[in-house]
Each structure stands twice: as structure tokens, then as C-alpha cells.
Amino acid sequence: MNFELILVVATFASGLIWLVDRLVFRPKRMARLESEAQQLGHEAGIERKEGGDSEPLLVDYAKSFFPILLAVLIIRSFLFEPFRIPSGSMMPTLLVGDFILVNKFTYGLRLPVVDTEIVPMSEPERGDVAVFRYPEQPEVDYIKRIIGLPGDTVRIEDHRVWVNDREFPLEEQGRYEGDANLKHAGLTVALEDIDGRLHQVLLDNGGHLRSGEWTVPDDEYFVMGDNRNHSNDSRFWGTVPESNLVGKAVMIWLHWNWQDGGFDAGRIGRSIDVVESD
């Protein structure tokens, strides 16, 4: 279900109903009420009838909901959109059950539904955590970390990442203790440095990390999950076109994972760009 399309249609329909009534039907109702009031001999009747049942129920609903729908559409399409993390591919940065805010204008303002860029803004940077439409299934949103920019050469060997023959420093920090239900407890936590931006990754020393070398095409991006051995990303299905980018993930505003009954108030308000110890 395309919620954005439904929201656009609902906003347009409610606004159109209200506008047509305001310009066409309301003046006719007012003229009729005035005529009836004059016939009855008291002008006060106009106010009583206008405040009563003279306005159709559909118009009343449209007038009430249009400002709300318009505000939601503007905020969701051009400012911020909420997402829920459904998988562990971005652990330990993001956990299953995290609800995040995605900045929609960081990479440029786009028209809703058609996704046409109308106002260019900043370019994506290495280290950004980005939400994008999965190239092989555009109706599905993915979230990964941007590793390679257009024109970059990305090389991966073991747990190490090189971009343009420059290695990203990686320092192991110890055993990961959390999320035992998802079988990630016991993996290795490491601190990775991407152009001076620090973030944690999970390494599975007993698992398989796909190695190889990729050249990023123009206007596309190479992305990877922070849970390096348990992420379906550019190593397997290729790069992300710039037109598929939805926005930059900036903050966790809620954590609730009903699978393990977990409400974690300590994660509320966390910046995704900042490394925080638990």
C-alpha cells in the first residue's frame, strides 16, 4: 500500500471539496438563507441557520481534515518521515524496534509520489546512514550506511574496507552482549572510522564476509549494513541510484520491540551520528 499516494489523494480531494463548496455552493446557500430570513422578517435567522445543519456533512469533514492532512503531507514529504527498523542489519547502531526520524530535505527536496527533485540541497557523504528504495523492489525501503560515493573504488577483504586504496581504520572493542534473541550476542564489536566519523560495527569472526572490489557508477552509492556479516547490501545486489534516496536517518525517537517486550527509554533521542555506550 502506497501511503504517500493515499495521503496526496486525500489531501487533494478534501481541499478540492472545501474549495468548490466555498466558491460555488456556499454563496448559493447563503443567498437562500438570506432570502428565507427576509421572508420571515428577522435577519438573525441567517446566523442561526449558517451555524446549524446548512453545511453538508461531507464539506464539514473536508474542511476539518484538510489542514491536518496538508500539514502531515508537508512534514512527511519535505521535512521528516518516521520509519521503524525491522531487521538487525544495522546493529549495533540501530536495533530491531527502533523508530527513527529521517531528514527528507538533506539530499534535496522532492515532489511526493513522483520523487522529482525540485530543490537541490547537499550531497550524501561517506558515513551517512541513509534510507532508500531497494533497487530490486522499489516499494520496499532499506536503511544502510553509505560507504562509497560516485566514482569511488570500494575493496573489501576479510573485515576491512578500502575506498580508493585508503583503508578505513577498524579497532575491535570486545564482545557484543546484547540482543541474544536475535543470536547476535557474542559477536565482536569494532569501531570504524570513515573520514573521521566514528561508528560501531558488528563482526562475526566465524561467519562469511563477502570480499571483492567494486567501482561505483556515476550518480550511485555503495552501501553496507553495520552488522557486516548479516546484511543484504551492495556487496550482493549492487549500488543505489541517487534517485532512490529517501533521506538521511538522524535520530531515534522511540524503541519498542513487541517480540521481546522491550521498551527502552534510554534509546529515545539518540543521534544516529553519535557513538554512545550502553
Q: Is 144 annotated as catalytic? A: yes
**Which residue in the list 144, 231, 234, 248 is annotated as catalytic?**
144
Q: Is 89 annotated as catalytic? A: yes
Predicted TM-score (pTM) of the model is 0.82
Indicate if the pLDDT at residue 53 is higher than 50.
no
For residue 10, with 0-12 CB atoms within 10 Å meaning exposed, 13-18 middle and 19 or more buried, which class applies? middle
**Which residue in the list 77, 89, 231, 234 is annotated as catalytic?**
89
In DSSP terms, which residues pair with 191 in a beta bridge?
Answer: 171, 200
Indicate if the pLDDT at residue 274 is higher than 90.
no
Measured from the Cβ of residue 179, the count of other Cβ atoms closer than 10 Å reads 20
The winner for highest mean pLDDT among 22-26, 205-209, 247-251 is: 247-251
Give the pLDDT score at 42: 54
Residue 132 pLDDT grade (very low, low, confident, very high; cuts 50, 70, 90): very high
Dist. CA 49–CA 30, nearest whole Å: 9
Q: Summarize pLDDT for 58-79 with one digit per residue, the tens.
A: 999 999 999 999 999 999 888 9
Q: Summarize pLDDT for 81-97 with one digit per residue, the tens.
A: 999 999 989 999 999 89
Mean pLDDT of the chain: 87
Indicate if the pLDDT at residue 137 is higher than 60.
yes
